């Protein structure tokens, strides 16, 4: 498969490779994510009961209380945070959270091109993400 590169904007530098966990809905870190497990607990969320630990977390934007930034820090400190964050449009809650938690982050990425289970590599410094292996490719093997 051809390696697909999606360009975006650098927010927090750092390079991380991992499996994507993609949501079509905004995430509220305060109230929507369990800080003791990394599970998404928001009612009616498309990632409900999914764990963000070690994943490349892709979602359109953050929303909700600004305390959400501290939740990201707490998750990262316990080793429960995502490996990297890809947003469609960065918002202050997630930006501040990714900075203090030192989670590589980019935004202005068309996240519709990424699917849960894709093997992706994020370059937070240069602001792009490489889709190394689509989930389907994996199934064929």
Whichever of 19 and 96 has its CB closer to another protein, that residue is 96
The answer to whether residues 98 and 118 touch, using CB atoms and an 8 Å cutoff, is: no
Residue in the structure block whose two tokens are 């530098």:
13
Whichever of 20 and 127 has its CB closer to another protein, that residue is 127
Whichever of 93 and 131 has its CB closer to another protein, that residue is 93
- Helix 92-101 to helix 68-77 angle, to the nearest 10 degrees? 30
- Report in angstroms how near the CB of residue 68 gets to another protein at its nearest: 8
Radius of gyration of the chain (CA): 14
- Report in angstroms how near the CB of residue 87 gets to another protein at its nearest: 11
The answer to whether residues 52 and 27 touch, using CB atoms and an 8 Å cutoff, is: no
Q: Could you list the residues that contact another protein (CB under 8 A)?
A: 11-12, 30, 35, 65-67, 69-71, 73-74, 77, 90, 92-93, 95-97, 99-100
49 included as an active-site residue: no
Catalytic annotation, pick one of 13, 37, 61, 65: 65
**Can you tell me whether residue 37 is helix, strand or coil?**
coil
Whichever of 35 and 83 has its CB closer to another protein, that residue is 35
The torsion angles phi and psi of 99, rounded to 5 degrees, stand at: -65, -50
- Report in angstroms how near the CB of residue 65 gets to another protein at its nearest: 8
- Report in angstroms how near the CB of residue 115 gets to another protein at its nearest: 27
The answer to whether residues 41 and 33 touch, using CB atoms and an 8 Å cutoff, is: yes
- Write out the catalytic residue numbers: 65
């Amino acid at each position: 498969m051809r390696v697909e590169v999606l360009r975006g904007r650098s927010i927090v530098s750092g390079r991380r490779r991992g499996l994507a966990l993609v949501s079509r809905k905004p995430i509220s870190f305060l109230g929507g994510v369990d800080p003791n497990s990394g599970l998404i607990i928001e009612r009616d969320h498309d990632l409900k009961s999914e764990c963000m630990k070690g994943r490349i977390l892709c979602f359109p934007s953050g929303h909700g209380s600004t305390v959400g930034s501290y939740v990201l820090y707490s998750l990262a400190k316990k080793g429960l945070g995502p490996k990297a964050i890809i947003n469609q449009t960065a918002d202050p809650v997630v930006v501040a959270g990714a900075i203090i938690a030192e989670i590589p982050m980019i935004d202005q990425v068309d996240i519709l091109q990424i699917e849960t289970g894709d093997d992706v590599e994020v370059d937070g410094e240069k602001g792009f993400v490489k889709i190394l292996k689509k989930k389907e490719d994996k199934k064929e093997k």
